[in-house]
Structure 1
Amino acid sequence: MSKDTGPVRVLSEHNEPDGGNPSVSLLQIDFERFWIQALNLKYWLLGIVVIGLLIGLIVTLLSTSLYRATARVEISLVRQNVVSSQPLEVESRFSEQQYYDTQFELLQSRSLVNRVIASGNLARDEELLAAIGLDPSQEITERTLGTILLGNVQINPLDRTSLVDISYSSASREVSARIANLWANEYIAANYQKRFGANIEARDFLEGQIAELRDKLAITERELVDYANANELVIIDTGRESGGSDAASQTLVGAELAALNTALATATTERIQAESALNAGSTGETGAASAAALRGRLAEEQAELAELRSKFGPEYPEIKAKLAEISALQEALNVESSIDNGALQAAYRKALLQERALRTKLADVKGSFLGQQGQGIQYGILKREVDTNRELYDALLQRYKELEAAGAGKNNVTLVDAASTPLKAYSPSLLVNLFVGLGAGLLAAAAVVYLRETMDRTVRDPNDVRNKLGIVPLGLIPRVQGADIVDELLRRSSEVSEAYTAARTNMTFLTATGAPRALMLTSTRPNEGKTLSGVALARSFAQLGKKVLLVDADLRHSGISDFIGLATDPGKGLSTLLSGGGTLAEAAVWVEEHGFDLLPAGHRPPNPVELLSGSKLKEIVDMALDTYDQVIVDGAPVLGLADALEVSRAVEGVVYIVESNGANIRAVQTALGRLATANATIFGAVVTKLDQRNAAYGYGYGYGYGYGYGYGDTPEEE
């Protein structure tokens, strides 16, 4: 037996396959595999999608019609108060987006829905309760009703605007419109109350205080007037604040006394002046002027008389005339003086009489004034009370006006469009439900494909042998249905025969000298096509003119003889040789139909592992290699048994049989790991039972080698 060359691939020399690293498999999603899985399940997936559409149709037919009414409000940003008085509202410190987000949350708050319920008395609204599916005869809590209302209302802000739509849905057109409008109005009222509630309360309080103080002021003023009338007090407004005893000076008597006092002082002054003028003999301005004129003429006449006397004698007529004129002037001057003295006396008497009359009147008025002094004190007390009440009234009225100006700001939330009664139902929508059913069906179909693909750990793509198991795929064998497999092997042009011929060809490249002379066929579990592969490969090597020995080493479940329809002697076989009885030449059976020798398993021993674990099997294989060109050993499955591990020590390497769509990759990995622990050389794998489920991967009857056989091909097409 030649062992100078090693295998092309040995499991211990490979990197860890992708199947051993879950993270790698998760990151490397092969969408083609999911597509192929979908193609394989197309009828099931089509049924799922159709069921989804049917469910959408049924839901549409069975659903209650819903009507949606929408009220639109405008929410403006809060602005600073601009009145001159101290503002009572505080401008929002939030950013614009935060403010609007807060308002949107308030529109869906529990406090607002409670206001809506209370304002509309919705807990007793039978039309509403019927529209939302509640029994009016049963007790309904406010929280339950509020939860239902919140579930039916929708708040939809319009992008890039300050407008917000408030929509309500129910089975009643009228209820939807009424609740939408009620919701909008209560939100507007709540917002106004929140912003100006303090001012409103203050104004209400001041209104009560002002009304009370107005009544009190009226009472005190009436008492003051009644007191003045009862005591005949006539009050003169002096334009200055006074009280107490000073109130008497503000009466008519006091005013008269002051006027008389002033007039008396004036009369006294005039009397004194007249008396002084009389005593001094002074004249009035008019008399003084006349006297001065007369004296001036008298002086002129006297001067002319003196000039005439200097020229003429006493008897001169002009002198006599001048003397007469001078005499007349002197007499006129004397008369003027007597007239001025009489005027002074008359003026003095008048002033004296006026002074005496004023003094008499002053004395009378003074007596009346002194009688009103006590009354003035009480009047002052009443007057101060009136003034105090008036000052308080004016102060409260001024503050009320300030609050009215500060609190009468415009609400920053206004109703733009009231909700109107909807004309048609918005739900259920047949088109929407069909799309939803279609989407749900597609998602369910995708989930089925995903679960099927992820849970299906079998080999579907023959490349999985290389990618996930780390070994070379030597052959791809199609599934044969509806025909005798042995007849298919005998027909050299059959797909199965051609597939094993391709596998045999690939084996010739495993070593530099060709195919390994001694190799074992094994699998993960029974019924994966191991026996068929052994017969087919032995037949294929024999067709090359080689002398081939096929050894049935599955001592627990031998089946090659039955498979090819060959009757053998149970006393002659591998178990007999391992027990030390007979020879290889005696035990080997020529299979003329296939052209190779068969060493049957013989009788079934009670201890197969003990027979296979010794060196006897190695000696038998070496002895066979002296006679045969090719020795193929059909071993037992790997999992659960140690037989294959012992047989692997007697051959050059192992060709692993993997059933597509059947063998679990993790189980295959475990089996290969067991072979690796036994230092077995894995030459490669033969994938068996490929069918239309694998065709989408590009591995139909062509096996990827260009034979051109596809599913559905007729012999003529071949």
Structure 2
Amino acid sequence: MAQASAGIGIKPLVSLRQHPRLAVCAVILTFLAALPMVWIKGQSFYEAESVIQIAPRYMKTLKDDNELDFQSNSQYRQFVQQQSNTIQRYDILRDGIRLANQNHQIQASSPTNTNQLQLDYAIGGSKITQAPAQPQKTSLWQRPNESERHAVERLRNLLQVSAVSDTYMVRIGLSGKNKAELAPIINGVVSVYLERVRDEQVFGKDERIAQLQKRQDLLLTQIDEKAERRNTIAGDLGIATFSEEAGNPYDKAIERLREALADAKIKRFSAAANEKAFLTHGDTDPGVRSILESVSVDPGLNSLKASLNNRRATLVSGMAGLTPQHPGYQQNKIELAEIDAEIRQQTEKITSEVRRNLQSRFSTASTQSAQLEADLQRELTEQEKSRGHFATLFKEAQNLSADVTQIRKELDAIQERLNFFAAETSALGFVRLVSAAMTPETPLGVGKTKLLLMAIIASLAAGLLLPIVYDLMDRRIHTPNDVVSGFGFPPVGWLIHAKDNDSQLFRTDQLRRLASALIREQDRTQLRVFGFTALQPQGGTSTTVFDLQKTFADMGLPAIAVEANAFSRDPRFANAPHHDLANGIPSALNLDTAQLYLSGNDRHIHAIDRLGETLTHLAHTYRFVLVDLPPLLVSGDAELALRSTPAVIAIVEAEAQGRGEVARAARVLQSIDPASIGVIVNQVRPLDGGGYVNDLMDEFISGQKKQQAGIASQITSTMKILLQTALHLPRDLQHQISALLRSKS
């Protein structure tokens, strides 16, 4: 078996020789495509930028607010992205252009340091007079006859806003040819952005303040209404406070009336009992001074008794020693009787007076207690009649007081929130300016010369890489080694693509090598019948069988070529003897031609089941029976015919079959399981400008060992091929276009 050529793989020079047109076209198309970019991007430009800081924490004035706090780093990153998009908002860009135009007009009317003016209005942009609604006639950014919206959209496409990695900074950059307009435009946009973000950093501030103020006005109105109603109730009830802790004073008054009424009843009962007991028994109870005691302690009576007792003592002493019949004794006795009568009379008089006085006191007390009870009962009855109305009004007043208290708490919360908006909306917040844009002085850009060189390098790289990529992505069979992965064994031989006399001579020698491989296989297996089948139509089966039969004949070995390929007949077998398998075994053959044509109909051989006995019969006469079979992957007769050929040779056409087709053919042959399987790689094309096949063919033609070409020689030959292809490319394209037009016509 001939030594197999190496696969292409990643070999730049080989790929360039294989596909010179592809390389030349890639170079030309890439260079033509890069020319506009060289013209556009090669022009010098200026660039200005401003830097702002977006802090991860809200820079407060007085107090924090939870809604202005980031809970995680991802939320902060989302906020930075949102602010980067906000800078490119239409209204901010529009007002930034207007502000830049306004300051341009100020600078034109009052010349000053340009950078200082840009820095001043970038830092304190909110202090600058509001830009007019319409742009100035001489616009700094807007071109003549360009609408404001188009100018804003153009600025949005050119403005570069990006976060500086590993920092809290955001860069706002702008590049262009006119260096005078870059810094004012950036500073105008940044100034408007800083002012807007300070106003909008508390989301919906204006709407929220309006809603809070509206709610505040409503609550104040409710307080006035409820307070007025409570004052009316206070006037009606005659009380000033409606404390929940103090309770209802009307209930307390009724309770006191009930207690007083109970006391009055007890006093009336006591007075009535005392009066009744006095009238019944004529004296007071033990707890009160008795009549006798009152009489005994009467000072007038006691004084009278004292004087009369002195007289009595005198009279008694004068009667001492006198007999009852003595006139003095009688006189004294009468006077003593008068003294006793006087004392008794005065005592009874005082007793009567005390009795009358006590009786009057008991009666008065009873009358007073009865009157007090009646008055209290009447007052309680009247109070209880108006108790429900009083309690309703008092409860309403208490509810009003509670409502007013609750409303005042809500008012305090609203006022606190309004105070927060007033204090914190003027705070630095999250965003502040780090550096304003300055007018650039040094132009930037690669330059047309460098870009042209880069375009040339890119074109050459495309011309080099595209053929390599094409070969790497090409799944077709190119070399004998490519079939090893599909069949699992190396091919028995390979045949070069004959395009001239030298390659034809080399192909003839390869046929002898192939014949030698079949002889060795016959010596090993004693097989004489070899079936040749291609994978697809026009795979070179008939040519291989025809040429191999002539090679065996030249070598003096009897061999016959049997045309059993009804799918695609070869005209070189037209003069061979015809035989129909249905007629049995052929009796005689023309040994001069050593060819046999099996008859068939509609791409099928007649009585193909009898092919085996015919081939066996031929094997008795010929040492090699070479059978031309239909394509394996297309015709059904191929699998039927392979049953009659113990040795099968699959012919794989280089640069025509893919690796998947080879693997499929290998599976089909394995399912048929013949006695012997071999593979021939046909039409192996020698690489243009050199390569192993070319070297091998040159050594065969010259009969001398070819010196290995150096890298410089290989490059030179490759460049010659590419140059010739480039020179002939217009003519080839013209011919292809003419052929295409002729085909359409």
TM range (shorter): 0.5 to 0.7
Q: Equivalent residue for 1:475?
A: 493
Q: After the TM superposition, which residues 563-578 of structure 1 pair with which residues of structure 2 at under 5 Å, given as runs? A: 570=575, 573-575=577-579
- Structure 1 residue 180 displacement after superposition: 1.0
Q: Equivalent residue for 1:463?
A: 481
- Structure 1 residue 167 displacement after superposition: 0.6
Q: Choose which of 177, 182, 186 in structure 1 pairs with 2:183.
A: 177
Q: Choose which of 559, 578, 584 in structure 2 pairs with 1:548.
A: 559
The number of residue pairs the alignment matches comes to 459
- Structure 1 residue 600 displacement after superposition: 3.1
Q: After the TM superposition, which residues 131-210 of structure 1 pair with which residues of structure 2 at under 5 Å, given as runs? A: 135-136=145-146, 141=149, 146-194=152-200
Q: In 2, distance between residues paired with 1:36 and 1:126? A: 66
**Residues 419 and 104 (structure 1 numbering): CA distance in 2 closer, same or farther, change over 3 Å?**
farther
Q: Equivalent residue for 1:59?
A: 37
- Structure 1 residue 666 displacement after superposition: 4.6
Q: In 1, distance between residues paired with 2:700 and 2:523? A: 39
Q: Does structure 2 conserve the Cα–Cα contact (< 8 Å) formed by 1:70 and 1:166? A: yes
- Structure 1 residue 95 displacement after superposition: 4.7
Q: Equivalent residue for 1:232?
A: none
Q: In 2, distance between residues paired with 1:671 and 1:178? A: 74
Equivalent position amino acid for 2:179 in 1: R
Equivalent position amino acid for 1:155 in 2: V
Q: Does structure 2 conserve the Cα–Cα contact (< 8 Å) formed by 1:477 and 1:690? A: yes
- Structure 1 residue 561 displacement after superposition: 4.6
- Structure 1 residue 684 displacement after superposition: 1.2
SS of the aligned residue for 2:631 comes to coil
Q: After the TM superposition, which residues 590-669 of structure 1 pair with which residues of structure 2 at under 5 Å, given as runs? A: 590=592, 598-601=594-597, 605-606=600-601, 609-615=604-610, 617-667=611-661
Q: In 2, distance between residues paired with 1:559 and 1:115? A: 81
Q: Does structure 1 conserve the Cα–Cα contact (< 8 Å) formed by 2:161 and 2:170? A: yes
Correspondence 1:99 to 2:76: yes
Q: Equivalent residue for 2:684?
A: 690
Q: Does structure 2 conserve the Cα–Cα contact (< 8 Å) formed by 1:72 and 1:419? A: no
Q: In 1, distance between residues paired with 2:592 and 2:453? A: 70
Query: Which ranges in structure 2 are unaligned for 5 or more consecutive residues?
Result: 1-6, 102-132, 214-414, 707-745
Q: In 2, distance between residues paired with 1:712 and 1:124? A: 88
Q: Does structure 1 conserve the Cα–Cα contact (< 8 Å) formed by 2:56 and 2:70? A: no
Q: Choose which of 506, 513, 516 in structure 1 pairs with 2:527.
A: 516
Equivalent position amino acid for 2:579 in 1: S
Q: After the TM superposition, which residues 76-87 of structure 1 pair with which residues of structure 2 at under 5 Å, given as runs? A: 76-78=55-57, 81=60
Equivalent position amino acid for 1:547 in 2: P
Q: In 2, distance between residues paired with 1:167 and 1:665? A: 54
SS of the aligned residue for 1:420 comes to coil
Equivalent position amino acid for 2:648 in 1: V
Q: Equivalent residue for 1:339?
A: none
Correspondence 1:700 to 2:693: yes
Q: In 2, distance between residues paired with 1:405 and 1:532? A: 95
Equivalent position amino acid for 1:661 in 2: E
Q: CA RMSD in A?
A: 4.9
Q: Does structure 2 conserve the Cα–Cα contact (< 8 Å) formed by 1:37 and 1:453? A: no
Q: Equivalent residue for 1:537?
A: 548
- Structure 1 residue 691 displacement after superposition: 1.4
Equivalent position amino acid for 2:195 in 1: A
Equivalent position amino acid for 2:69 in 1: S
SS of the aligned residue for 2:657 comes to coil
SS of the aligned residue for 2:693 comes to coil
Q: In 2, distance between residues paired with 1:129 and 1:460? A: 67
Q: In 1, distance between residues paired with 2:557 and 2:531? A: 18
Q: Does structure 2 conserve the Cα–Cα contact (< 8 Å) formed by 1:612 and 1:647? A: no
Q: Choose which of 401, 410, 413 in structure 1 pairs with 2:432.
A: 413
Equivalent position amino acid for 1:45 in 2: A
Equivalent position amino acid for 2:641 in 1: V
Q: Does structure 1 conserve the Cα–Cα contact (< 8 Å) formed by 2:477 and 2:657? A: yes
Q: Equivalent residue for 2:260?
A: none
The more displaced of 179-188 and 93-102 is 93-102
SS of the aligned residue for 1:466 comes to helix
Q: Equivalent residue for 1:244?
A: none
For each residue in 1:493-518, what CA deviation from the matched residue of structure 2 results, as whole angstroms up to 9, or x when unmatched?
x4223322333343355477346311
**Residues 134 and 504 (structure 1 numbering): CA distance in 2 closer, same or farther, change over 3 Å?**
farther
Q: Does structure 2 conserve the Cα–Cα contact (< 8 Å) formed by 1:57 and 1:434? A: no
Equivalent position amino acid for 2:683 in 1: K
Q: In 2, distance between residues paired with 1:599 and 1:661? A: 30
Q: In 2, distance between residues paired with 1:70 and 1:550? A: 85
Query: Structure 2 length as normaliser, TM-score?
Result: 0.51
SS of the aligned residue for 1:658 comes to strand
For each residue in 1:353-407, what CA deviation from the matched residue of structure 2 results, as whole angstroms up to 9, or x when unmatched?
xxxxxxxxxxxxxxxxxxxxxxxxxxxxxxxxxxxxxxxxxxx9xx999977995
Q: Equivalent residue for 2:591?
A: 589
Query: Structure 1 length as normaliser, TM-score?
Result: 0.52
Q: Does structure 2 conserve the Cα–Cα contact (< 8 Å) formed by 1:694 and 1:700? A: no
- Structure 1 residue 659 displacement after superposition: 1.4
Q: Does structure 2 conserve the Cα–Cα contact (< 8 Å) formed by 1:495 and 1:709? A: yes
Q: Does structure 1 conserve the Cα–Cα contact (< 8 Å) formed by 2:58 and 2:429? A: no
- Structure 1 residue 453 displacement after superposition: 5.2
Q: In 1, distance between residues paired with 2:434 and 2:446? A: 26
Q: Equivalent residue for 1:288?
A: none
- Structure 1 residue 154 displacement after superposition: 0.9
The more displaced of 670-679 and 114-123 is 670-679
Correspondence 1:108 to 2:85: yes
Equivalent position amino acid for 1:177 in 2: A
Q: Does structure 1 conserve the Cα–Cα contact (< 8 Å) formed by 2:480 and 2:490? A: no
Q: Equivalent residue for 1:382?
A: none
Q: In 1, distance between residues paired with 2:552 and 2:457? A: 56
- Structure 1 residue 45 displacement after superposition: 2.4
- Structure 1 residue 58 displacement after superposition: 3.0
Q: Does structure 1 conserve the Cα–Cα contact (< 8 Å) formed by 2:61 and 2:427? A: no
**Residues 78 and 169 (structure 1 numbering): CA distance in 2 closer, same or farther, change over 3 Å?**
same
Q: Does structure 1 conserve the Cα–Cα contact (< 8 Å) formed by 2:84 and 2:161? A: yes
**Residues 619 and 431 (structure 1 numbering): CA distance in 2 closer, same or farther, change over 3 Å?**
same
> Where is the helix percentage greater, Structure 1 or Structure 2?
2
- Structure 1 residue 601 displacement after superposition: 1.6
Q: In 2, distance between residues paired with 1:535 and 1:405? A: 99
For each residue in 1:221-255, what CA deviation from the matched residue of structure 2 results, as whole angstroms up to 9, or x when unmatched?
xxxxxxxxxxxxxxxxxxxxxxxxxxxxxxxxxxx
For each residue in 1:419-465, what CA deviation from the matched residue of structure 2 results, as whole angstroms up to 9, or x when unmatched?
314553648766357647855885697567546654x5532132222
Equivalent position amino acid for 1:609 in 2: H
How much identity, in percent, do the aligned residues show? Answer: 15
Q: Does structure 1 conserve the Cα–Cα contact (< 8 Å) formed by 2:68 and 2:202? A: no
Q: Equivalent residue for 1:70?
A: 49
Q: After the TM superposition, which residues 282-431 of structure 1 pair with which residues of structure 2 at under 5 Å, given as runs? A: 413-421=432-440, 423-424=442-443, 426=445, 431=450
SS of the aligned residue for 1:623 comes to helix
Q: After the TM superposition, which residues 241-260 of structure 1 pair with which residues of structure 2 at under 5 Å, given as runs? A: none
Q: Does structure 2 conserve the Cα–Cα contact (< 8 Å) formed by 1:113 and 1:149? A: no
For each residue in 1:71-114, what CA deviation from the matched residue of structure 2 results, as whole angstroms up to 9, or x when unmatched?
2334445466576xx56798633456753652353132267541
- Structure 1 residue 623 displacement after superposition: 2.0
Query: Which ranges in structure 1 are unaligned for 5 or more consecutive residues?
Result: 1-28, 207-395, 489-493, 563-567, 592-597, 703-707
Equivalent position amino acid for 2:22 in 1: W
Q: Equivalent residue for 1:238?
A: none
**Residues 102 and 449 (structure 1 numbering): CA distance in 2 closer, same or farther, change over 3 Å?**
same
For each residue in 1:279-305, what CA deviation from the matched residue of structure 2 results, as whole angstroms up to 9, or x when unmatched?
xxxxxxxxxxxxxxxxxxxxxxxxxxx
For each residue in 1:580-620, what CA deviation from the matched residue of structure 2 results, as whole angstroms up to 9, or x when unmatched?
58623xx23235xxxxxx12327x654673524142x3233
Q: In 2, distance between residues paired with 1:560 and 1:151? A: 70
Q: In 2, distance between residues paired with 1:70 and 1:712? A: 72
